[in-house]
Structure 1
Amino acid sequence: MADKLKFTLALLLLVSGVAGFYYLGEQPMIVRVLAVLAGIGAGVAVAWFTVPGRRFVGFSREAIVETEKVVWPTRRETIQVTGIVFSFVLVMAVVLWTTDKSLEWVLYDLILGWKK
């Protein structure tokens, strides 16, 4: 129950930061942006002390570790795969256009007799 209250408080702090942006409409932009950042910071600080917040931090750290394990493609591989995708799209466009025009000819010219 305490975590739900903390999480609700964190969301209220976040919303108050955004509301502060609009409430301080006559102030310089830097003050308005700082109000939003203060709301976000306060909300994150409160959420940090909840069990879901700690789990989220742990999950984020694990995600970063897993991202470092990824073997990213080289520039050459990226260019080759991009070329293959573009070629496939071009071939499919021609096939679909040919199919469309063939069906149009069969339906309108042969079956219905509507000459263009």
Structure 2
Amino acid sequence: MATSQVETVGSGANKLKLAAAVLLLLAGLVAFYWLGKQGALVQWGALLAALVAAVVVFFSAQTGRDLWAFGRDAWREVGKVVWPARKEAIQMTAYVFAFVVVMALFLWLTDKTLEWFIFDLILGWRK
């Protein structure tokens, strides 16, 4: 039987950093609206400064470092993918479009046949 692991926020310092990042983000949003009369430059400056500070604090926490490592590993895996050649990609796209057209025609024909069968033959609504 496979056991699943649930990762939780571990240390108190990590929790504090995450809470600080959230508070900085909220403070930036509040400052953006609170500084509405100061001008757009001040508004956006406060928002961007708080956002940058929140991102820096988040990535200094273990959760942020784990997210960064995940992104780095994902990018490394993308580099290992064997991508199809242009000709093969165009052919597969054409196959998909052809299949969609065939299925659309099939579903339309099925719909019209059922419509004719139910409404004309069984119910006799159309004369």
TM-score by length of 1: 0.86
- How much identity, in percent, do the aligned residues show? 51
One-letter amino acid matched to 1:107:
I
1:7 aligns with 2:45: no
Q: Deviations over 1:36-79 (max 9, x none)?
A: 22111111221222221221121121122112222333332232
Runs of 4 or more, structure 1, over 6 Å off, are none
> Structure 1 77/34 Cα, relative in aligned 2: closer, same or farther at 3 Å?
farther
Worse overlay, 103-112 or 42-51 = 42-51
One-letter amino acid matched to 1:3:
N
Higher relative contact order (CA 8 A, sep 6+): 1
Inter-partner Cα distance in structure 2 for 1:74 and 1:32? 48
Question: What is the count of residue pairs matched by the alignment?
Answer: 116
Cα RMSD of the aligned pairs, angstroms, is 1.7
Residue 45 of structure 1: which of 56, 67, 71 is its match? 56
SS in 2 for 1:26: helix
Gaps of 5+ in 1: none
TM-score by length of 2: 0.80
Aligned to 1:31: 42
Deviation of the 1:98 alpha carbon: 0.7
